[in-house]
Chains A and B, each alone.
Chain A
Amino acid sequence: MSQVVRVAGIQKRYGTLIAVDDVSFDVQEGEIFGLIGPNGAGKTTTMEAVEGLRPIDRGSITVLGLDPARDVYALQDRIGVQLQAAQLQKRITVWETLDLWASLYKHPVDASKLLEQLGLGEKRDAWFMTLSGGQKQRLFIALALINDPELVFLDELTTGLDPQARRAIWELVRGIRARGKTVFLTTHLMEEAERLCDRVAILDHGRIIDVDTPGALVGRYCPERAVVLVTGDEAADAAFLAAPGIDEVSRRGSELTIRGHGDELVTTVIRLVSDHHIVVRDLRTERPTLEDVFLKVTGHSIRD
């Protein structure tokens, strides 16, 4: 796999505020890469610098082999962009927008087909102001895809959408990857990052904290796991506590929560259940999420 985006040591200042400080990462071809962090972390500034919309003060950026600051017009033919909180003219129709955009690029895709794919076929002649939040975002995705780009930027794509619209958009983003394109997105929703991204970079106060797959980040920073057994059998509670890799056992009514660390935890629990002939009515495992990772590595919740 080759590198589509390479960001090396970039810095961006607004007056005395350093919005982005020594940020480096790369995006590989064909992946969904997420820049995650709370609002104000510097995600949009970083992304817009990569898109060529914002000059940087220090460092270097290469996108598809081009310097976005210098070759922005050459780059625009090969990338698709969805901006955070963008709007269009209130009374422009869906079709007029797509038709205008199609006329601006060298190799546009079939706009009618694209509208159908994004479920906007019936909204063709609707004014922008009459669209729902989800429909607007789907239109912006259509605009980002009209030039058949190699790399698609999606900035806070699902913010403000209801869960159902959000899930539909996630499906569309997976569809973009399935067509061999690379997706670079930002989000402050950890669930979105976890479900959608192949790799994520955690950004806080303008600095990259770590870059990896969501699973690897959880394993690295939050290795603790829990197994919850629903059982009335209290005889073996002490046996669990004595086993290796188990740190804590607690019971609330019929629910026995066994906390530990390492990949062996579930196996250990199952073996003990079998050895002690414990009757288990239900079993589930609990693992930390990116949300927990974020709290751990930054010391504050992403919603602060």
Chain B
Amino acid sequence: MRGLWKLTWLEIKIFVREPLGFIGSVLVPLLVFIGMGRLFSAGGKPTPPELSTAVGVEIPVLGALLISMSAVLSLITIIAIYREGGILKRLRATPLRPVTILTAHVLVKLLLTAFTLALMGLAGRRYYPATLHVPAISFALALLAATVSLLAIGFVVASLVPTARFAQPAGGLLLYPLIGVSGLFVPFQKLPGVLQAIGAVSPLTYAVSLLRGILLGDSWMAHAGDLAALAAISAACAAISSRVFRWE
């Protein structure tokens, strides 16, 4: 893994130098989150009970997943641009191992997710009802586990999209509908059978279950099944993309 830290640090700097990418994946999710908080706690009135799980659980889970997904979409796009521009090929014609190049990108996206989540945590304290208690460290770890599995799917998409132009929409078309079958807003059992089947292989389903559980104070052991499912999906996608990934 020679060169991994240097390459990771470089990619972070390069990412921050691109104003649009930075605004899109850090500021926009943050502003949406703050906006929602203001909406629900407007005028300092006590939150009605039917909204309290929305404010306390569903919105933070959705917000966290959106951060993670925007990081994944950004990864898909960057990989596609790097491939189209011959950057991947140029990097590969050095002693850098392919796995080092890809790991550096995964690390950048995980750090980005963690950074945005931290900002969101700070914003939550400021703009959300003070009564909420969020187990911040556990929640962050759970989100990183979810992000790893989403990134693994992202690599499969990045392997298959023909050009950089299609990368972002293709990724979005695949990932965003998965929120609908994840059990976040509609309970999983109420979905039609075919959607339940899709949900069963989607990492978002397990990510939602894990994140919601952690927010409600469950122990990690209670969600060992979710973690195992996320790990299995990550491994399966990594295996697929190692076969179909194209460098040029």
Binding site for B on A (CB under 8 A): 51, 53, 73, 76-77, 81, 83, 85-92, 96, 99-101, 103-105, 127
Residues of chain A within 8 A (CB-CB) of B14 are: 89-92
Identify which of A81, A96, A100 contacts B93 (C-beta below 8 A). Answer: A81
Nearest CB in chain A: distance from B2 CB, A: 6
Cα-based distance from A86 to B247 in the complex (angstroms)? 13
Identify which of B13, B85, B96 contacts A104 (C-beta below 8 A). Answer: B96
Contact yes or no, B90 A88, CB < 8 A: yes
Residues of chain B within 8 A (CB-CB) of A103 are: 2-3, 6
Cα-based distance from A91 to B2 in the complex (angstroms)? 22
Contact yes or no, B10 A96, CB < 8 A: yes
Nearest CB in chain A: distance from B210 CB, A: 34
Nearest 9 CB-CB pairs, A to B?
Answer: A87-B85, A91-B17, A86-B90, A86-B86, A81-B93, A104-B95, A91-B14, A89-B14, A76-B95
Residues of chain A within 8 A (CB-CB) of B87 are: 86-89
Residues of chain A within 8 A (CB-CB) of B82 are: 89
Contact yes or no, B2 A104, CB < 8 A: yes
Most chain A CB atoms below 10 A, which of B2, B6, B7: B6
Nearest CB in chain A: distance from B244 CB, A: 17
Q: Give the dominant DSSP class at B's interface.
A: helix
Q: Which of B1-25 contact A (CB under 8 A)?
A: 2-3, 6-7, 10-11, 13-14, 17-18
Residues of chain B within 8 A (CB-CB) of A76 are: 93-95
Nearest CB in chain A: distance from B215 CB, A: 37
A85 with B92: in contact, given A91-B14, A91-B17, A100-B6 (CB under 8 Å)?
no
Residues of chain B within 8 A (CB-CB) of A92 are: 10, 14
Contact yes or no, A105 B92, CB < 8 A: no
Residues of chain B within 8 A (CB-CB) of A87 are: 85-87, 90
Chain B 82-110, CB within 8 Å of chain A: the 1/0 string?
10011101101111100000000000000
Contact yes or no, A83 B86, CB < 8 A: yes
Contact yes or no, A83 B6, CB < 8 A: no
Identify which of B7, B10, B86 contacts A85 (C-beta below 8 A). Answer: B86
Contact yes or no, A100 B3, CB < 8 A: yes
Contact yes or no, B86 A104, CB < 8 A: no
Residues of chain B within 8 A (CB-CB) of A51 are: 93
Residues of chain B within 8 A (CB-CB) of A86 are: 86-87, 89-90
Cα-based distance from A86 to B94 in the complex (angstroms)? 13
Cα-based distance from A132 to B149 in the complex (angstroms)? 41
Nearest CB in chain A: distance from B95 CB, A: 5
The chain B residue sitting closest to A91, CB to CB, is: B17
For chain B, the bracket of interface size reads 20 to 34
18 A-B Cβ contacts within 8 A? A53-B92, A77-B95, A83-B86, A83-B89, A85-B86, A87-B87, A87-B90, A89-B11, A90-B14, A92-B10, A96-B10, A100-B3, A101-B94, A103-B6, A104-B2, A104-B95, A104-B96, A105-B95
Cα-based distance from A104 to B94 in the complex (angstroms)? 8
Chain B 71-84, CB within 8 Å of chain A: the 1/0 string?
00000000000100
Nearest CB in chain B: distance from A45 CB, A: 12
Contact yes or no, B90 A83, CB < 8 A: yes
Residues of chain B within 8 A (CB-CB) of A73 are: 95
Chain B 13-45, CB within 8 Å of chain A: the 1/0 string?
110011000000000000000000000000000
Most chain A CB atoms below 10 A, which of B7, B82, B95: B95
The chain B residue sitting closest to A146, CB to CB, is: B94
20 new A-B contacts, CB < 8 A, other than A51-B93, A83-B93, A90-B14, are: A53-B92, A73-B95, A76-B93, A76-B94, A76-B95, A81-B93, A83-B86, A83-B90, A86-B87, A87-B90, A89-B11, A89-B14, A89-B82, A99-B6, A100-B3, A100-B7, A100-B10, A101-B94, A103-B6, A105-B95
Cα-based distance from A87 to B3 in the complex (angstroms)? 19
Residues of chain A within 8 A (CB-CB) of B11 are: 89
The chain B residue sitting closest to A87, CB to CB, is: B85
